[in-house]
Structure formats: structure tokens, C-alpha cells
Amino acid sequence: MPDTKITALTAISTVDPAVDVLPIVDVSDTTMAASGTTKKITSNQILGAGGTATLASATITGDLTVDTSTLKVDSANNRVGIVTASPRSGFALDVLGNAALGDSTTGGSSRLTLDGSGTAGNVPMIRFRSAGVQKAFFGLSGGFFGDTSTDALIATDAAGAAIRFCVSDTGTEAMRLNSTGLGVGVTPSAWSTYKAIQVGQLGAFWANPSGTDVYLSANQYFGSGSDRYIANGLATIYKQNAGVHSWLIAPSGTAGNAITFTQAMTLDASGNLLVGTTSALIASSRRLSVVGTVAAALQSTGAATVEAVNVWHTATTGNNIFIDFDTEASVTSRGSISYNRSGGLVAYNTTSDYRAKDIIGPVSNSGSVIDSLKVYIGKMKGASVERPMLVAHEAQTVAPYAVTGEKDAVDVDGNPRYQQMDVSSFVPLLIAEIQSLRTRVAALEA
């Protein structure tokens, strides 16, 4: 066909890249033959030929669609995306710089949105691989999973009310965090007022968010306004509050029931240790106060040359009082052990103030009492030295005030409860007899 002038070509009103052609000229045809040299090619043929094209400047108005469903510039919504099914997209980036992956069409208000399909918690949202092998991923449920689809490392419970922390190789829950506290190896009990870290079945560390008190407890939680047993058994609490340390105990109880605690020991803010009481005895300056049926039992496991109890008084003037003995609810002094500085000796004192005595009269039968006491030569069992001695139950018939205990008494286990005797009680009797003897000797000498 003959060549046609460009000015004679019909203008293209609607573009069809598959049909509309572009005329081209073979520049090697210098003879410009009348026919056969004019070539034509469509737009799609140019794009399908591959290669690289560089545009100095270009403006595209409207949507640019490549392969109709793959890449799309969405000018109406100010975004660009890789479209999978309009208007959905596998990737979208909006004008604010927010990116979305998955079924979302926009990043929304988040810089990155991952939007998957399905409801299973083990459907990966972010996947971590090593050498092509899956190691861990984030699932649709919000959980962080281990190297298999069932091993959730961090996830929420079905109701979304707790965060679960699990062991990766077994999927076993190791820790749970909910509104009442953190449970390690256990779902936290129904704590109220306080927030707790509960370890295993029975142990808990808890505190008052609006107070100063903190606690460490066993088999106890605070719920419905009171202390309660977690399981059947004993319960204990260690408490700190405003510088005071307290140890509380409770008898065995039933799971869920209220607990009645007894404060067994206290270390107050002044450094005083109180056992069996909540206040210092006699005066607040007492560093140790002990109250009980048997207030104290001391045992030494050291060598015989090591003291079982050491009492050290550092005052360098006056008579040092080591121990004071009192009775009655109103504290009545009965005696003491002290150091008599002027005499240079340790004094074992019994209260002898006239105000504590009712004097009846002088002793008149000292000789008959002394004559009634039987004195023997013997030795204590286990001892090696013989010495003069009295026998308690015999002396008790003569001077009951000098002997403690009953003859042949035993304890609940059948062990002997030996009688004891204060031989110093005979000293006034001996003095009275010596005075009587001196009077008689003086009369004889005269």
C-alpha cells in the first residue's frame, strides 16, 4: 500500500492498547519503496517486549492498572496497592505513610496493619524462619507461637481476659497475667483490693497499690474483703508496713474459707523484736519481748567450754544488773543477778525489802529445824566427786519453802520431773542458830 502522510491519519478518540497501532518507519530502507516498508505495532506489544524505559517527566491521571488486577494506584482514596480482588488488596500504602498487609485496603491510623483472614490462633501473621524452617510466628489470635502451630509462647485466653505465657516445646501454660495479678504455674486466685504475684498452688507476693503494706504468704489470698485459704491446710503471712515486719500464722483450714490470723512475731520500727506479743514488755526500750507458756528454750551444741548464754553489760560504773526476775501481771520484782562493783562479785539476789514483807517475830526453833534435816555424803549421778548433800523430799517436810516440785513427779511422756531446792533459804536459819549458840556460849563463858 502507498505511504500515508501523518496529517492524513485519523485521530484516535478511545485508546485500546491491544488494537490501536503506532506507525513506524524502517530507516534502513533508503529507497522508500512504495509498499512493504511501513511497519506498525500495538502498545501492548511494546510493553511486552521487555527492556527498560526512562521517562524524563510524566503525569498519569486516574488509575494505573497493570495486568488489570495486580498493581493499582487508587487516586480516589490516596493509596497505592497490590490488588488481589477489588477493592481488597494484599498491600496498601496510603498518603499518610500507613501500610497495610492482608485483607485491609488502608493502613488506617496505624503505621503498619496486618490483617489476615480466618479465626484460628495458629494462622501466622508474622513468620520467622531459619534455613527455610519455621521457628516462631505471631498468630491471628494475637499470640506469639513457637516452632509448631500449637506451641503458643505468648497469647490471650479465649475470653481475652488474660495473657498466657507458655513453654515453647510443650505448649504448657507457665504463667498467666489477668486483672487480679500474675500467676506462675497457676491461674491467680480471685484477689480483691490487692495485686499479687502468685507462684504455684500456695505461694504469693502481694501489695496494696494505694497503701504501704506488702506481703509474702503461703496458702492465702485476699478476696471478698478478707483473707482466705487457697487450699486445705495451714496458712502463714510475712508482712511489711511502715517499717514494721510482722509474721502471722493460722491453723489448718478449708479452701475458700476466711482465715483468722495470729500475729506470732513482730520486729517494730524501733528495732524491738516481739515474740508472742505485739507490744514491748515492761518498757518500750526492751529489745526482746517473749510471751508464751514456755517463753524460751536455749540449747548449745558447742563445746563445754563455750557458754550457752552470754550476758554482757558494758556499763563501767554502778552495779550492773544482768537479769531481773519478776512475777504477777503488774510486774512484781522477785530477784536479780547483778555485779556488785564495790564488793567485786556477782550477786544472786532475792527481793528482801521490808516493804515486801510481813514480819511476825524472831526465829525460836532454829535448832530443832536444823536437827530435823538429814545431811548425807553422796554424789549426783554422772558426777565423780562426793559431797555433803540434802535430799529434796526429806528437806521439804522440814522446810517446804526451800523445795520446788513434788516427789516422784513425771511429765506427760513419763520422764522424771526432778525436785529442786534453794539451799540459800537455810542461811537465815543457820544465822539464827549461830546467834543462839553465841548467846549460850557467852553465858557459859561468863
pLDDT at site 193: 83
CA angle 399, 404, 405 (to 5 degrees): 120
State the CB neighbour count (10 A cutoff) for residue 248: 20
Phi, psi of 264 (to 5 degrees): -85, -30
- Tell me the pLDDT band of 275, cut-offs 50, 70 and 90: very high
Distance CA 70, CA 291 (A): 86
**What pLDDT digit, counting tens, does each position of 283-342 carry?**
777 889 999 998 889 999 999 999 999 999 999 999 999 999 999 988 899 999 999 999
Per-residue pLDDT of 119-165, as tens digits, reads: 555 567 777 777 776 666 667 666 666 655 555 677 677 666 788 78
**What are the domain boundaries of the chain?**
1-53, 179-285, 320-356, 366-445
- Distance set, CA 415 to CA 248, 410, 439 (Å): 33, 5, 49
Which amino acid does the sequence have at 104?
S
In this predicted model, which residue has the larger pLDDT, 218 or 122? 218
Q: To the nearest whole number, what is the mean pLDDT of the chain?
A: 81
pLDDT above 80 for 18: no
What's the pTM?
A: 0.61
Q: What is the pLDDT of residue 87?
A: 45
Q: Which three cell numbers stand for residue 289?
A: 519481748
Does 107 or 384 have the greater pLDDT score? Answer: 384
Q: What is the pLDDT of residue 355?
A: 92
Nearest 10 degrees: Cα torsion 166, 172, 174, 176: 70
pLDDT tens digits, residue range 31-90?
555 555 556 676 666 666 555 555 556 676 666 666 555 666 666 666 666 655 544 446
